[in-house]
Amino acid sequence: MRNVLVTGAGSGIGRATAEAFVAAGDAVVAAMRDPGRSGEVPGAETIALDVTDDASVTAALQGRPAFDVVVNNAGISRSGPVETIDLDDARAQFETNYWGAVRVVRAVLAPMRARRSGLIVNVSTVGGRTPSRGYHAFYQGSKHALRAMSEALVWELAPFGVRVALVEPGFVATSIFDRGGYHDAPPPSPYAADEAWVRRFFLEGAAAQAIAPQQVAEQILAVAAEVRPRLHHPVGADAEAGVAAARSLEFEAWYDTAVARVESFAGPRPQPAPADPADADPA
């Protein structure tokens, strides 16, 4: 029986992963921001843990025995133009997706290191391997940063026998885009029509191609069963294709392919209104 921690276990991939480890007979700590709202995971120890809050992470994890598997899954996605996105929204993605994982890793590593074993699984996205699409600078940036942190951890933890894996799904059928406001029209900005077009791609792409969260959970359990797992684990056909394209194409060729892919789901790319010279010279 393994001792397993899953963050963001109240819904989606996190809940499916916690349930899968419970079904495998493991001792699971299902951590979520608000267990009263999300509901407990049957068979698991359900605890409150907000990955953006130092005190919450300490209160939830301090003094616990070594985990065999830690799944950093908690995450959010918000779209928005670099020029106009609310900076709180931009920062929140790094605070949750990157710093949240950093906080949890720092809280759990000492006993794992001391025991010379264990596995950290960081739930990234294929977008953590590919160049960034428009309006996803901060989501993808946070996941690229998660990849950089994971690579450094491989190096730092190898001598202590602790392994690190990145699970990198493509579209997964969860409520992440509902929660991120993708069904809403973007706030007024010179980019609004283009951003709406990209949001539509995410919704239509997910409707057409999303895999079930249980499939990601199965992949995480498969990784946890390996003695020496590799770092990278794309999940889903679209993730495999995205990684292959990112590997083989220079950015400019990738960009053309990515725009064509958005058009295949969301129709022709909208063009901005003709330039108004008055806007270029506000004085």
The catalytic site residues sit at 124, 139, 143
Among 5, 6, 13, 29, binds ligand NAP (CB under 6 A): 13
Output 88 or 252, the one with its CB closest to ligand NAP: 88
| Site for ligand NAP contains 76 (CB under 6 A) | yes
Within 92-131, the residues that bind ligand NAP by CB under 6 A are: 96-97, 100, 123, 125
Query: Closest approach of Cβ 281 to ligand NAP, in Å?
Result: 42
Query: 31 with 56: CB under 8 angstroms?
Result: no
Number of other CB atoms surrounding residue 213 within 10 Å: 21
Binding-residue total with ligand NAP (CB under 6 A): 32
Cβ-Cβ contacts under 8 Å for 251 (sequence gap 6 or more): 131
**Whole-angstrom distance, CA of residue 36 vs CA of residue 6:** 17
Closer to ligand NAP at the Cβ: 207 or 225?
A: 207
169 binding ligand NAP? (CB under 6 A): yes
Q: Is 54 in the site for ligand NAP (CB under 6 A)?
A: no
Which CA distances in Å does 36 have to 39, 44, 51, 179? 6, 15, 17, 18
Q: Which of residues 249-278 bind ligand NAP (CB under 6 A)?
A: none
Nearer to ligand NAP by Cβ, of 178 and 256: the residue is 178
Distances (CA, A) of 272 to 103, 189, 196, 242, 278: 42, 11, 13, 28, 16
Instruction: Specify which residues 45 forms β-bridges with.
Output: 29
Minimum CB separation of residue 180 from ligand NAP in Å reads 8
Is residue 236 close enough to count as binding ligand NAP by CB under 6 A?
no
